[in-house]
Each structure stands twice: as structure tokens, then as C-alpha cells.
Structure 1
Amino acid sequence: MRTFSLRIPASLTFALIATQAFAHAQLEKATPAVGGTVSSPSEIRLEFSEGVEPKFTGVTLTSASGASVPVGPAKTETGNAAVLIVPVGKPLSPGTYTVRWHAVSVDTHHTQGTFEFTVSP
């Protein structure tokens, strides 16, 4: 009986930890695609595993030289808070670009990440 009573709290603890681990807005898809090659995009679309708060979520874009590229304010897609849309401020020259994103999900968990894409000539 003692072993059984110890298993219940351990199982509940594990279940709560596992639930919290999945309660973060994880990047599921990006356009331009992670590692992809595209013509100059007019926007960056990030699709997350759950809704994000656009006021606390953002993207920076830098060229291969490290120069900052202007982007517009982030907004969520109408009717889908899990899709973040960030307009690119100007046409991009050929080269490799780095996207750095940070997100706050609707349940206030923070996540961040980085990926690259290439603009073809």
C-alpha cells in the first residue's frame, strides 16, 4: 500500500510537468521556410502551436552582414491567433537572412528561436 501511495504523487507531478512543457507556443511552420530559398518576401509568417500575444511577440530580421532589416509591426492573422504576420519593410537583396523571433503565448509562456532563409538572385 505504501508503494501505491508514493506512485500517485509521483505520477501527478510528472503529468503536471509534462503538461507545462507542452503549454508553450512552439514554432511549427515558417514562410519563408526554415533554410529555404525564395524570391524577396513581402512578409514573414510564423505558425505556432498555440495562440500568441502580438503586443509581446516580435521578429527581427538581419542580413548576412548583420545589418538590421526594417520590418513592420507584428499582427496575428484574423481569426487565428496562432499565426503571426510580420511585413518586410523593403525588398530584400539576394543573400542569407536571419529571423530572430520571440513569442508570448496566450497563457503567458515565453519562447524564442532563430532560423535562416536565402533570397535568390
Structure 2
Amino acid sequence: MRHWIHGPLGRLHGQLPHDEETNVVFFRGPPGGELAVFVTEPCNAKAHGPWFAYYRGGHLRTGFSFEALGDRVGEDPDVLLPALVAAGLVGPHAQHGTEDFEERIVRAITEALSLPELELP
């Protein structure tokens, strides 16, 4: 099964999202499969930018803020590192501050995880 969900969700990181937070979630497989969570419009009052988390088998494999790609967390925080380096997002040849920086992050993640194109209603 493959499915995208767009909009506020229930509890994320133990917190109920506020109206200003928008989450885009992709899941595939049976229960315990994969879950990719993009927090695309986080709460500005909390002073944090967009966030990504990737779960497999119910465990956080990797998670990071779009504002601090070098500060990854999870059981395998570097699972997406090759894709981020290849996209010029981290490493010695990283290109920060470009207008399309966040779009490049999303593209690198979706390509590395072979996620389908998001189709919004």
C-alpha cells in the first residue's frame, strides 16, 4: 500500500500540531512499514524550520531540520547522507542560501527513498 496524507495530523513527537503546522506524510507497506514525514510549515512561534523524519519498522531511522542538515538524529542518521551530498546540500561542495534550497532537500529525499510524486487535491 502507498499513500500520501496532507494536512495536520494527530500527535507528532508527542505533541498535537497547531493550525500553522502542515505535515505531509507518505507511508507504504504493511503495518510496521515505512513512514516519511515532512513538516513543511512549522510553527514560527516555536522558532523552528521545516523538519523531516523517516521511520521504518516503527523506529526513527533519521530525522533532521532543513535548517541544520548536519544535525541528524535516529538509529541510522546518515542513511540519506549520500543523497544530500550528491545534491550539493552538505559536504565540502554544499551550495547553501540558494532560492531552491528547501526544494532540493525534498527532491533528494524523495529520490533516495523512491517516493512517488505528491499529488495534492
TM-score range, shorter chain: under 0.3
Give the number of the structure whose alpha-carbon radius of gyration is greater.
1
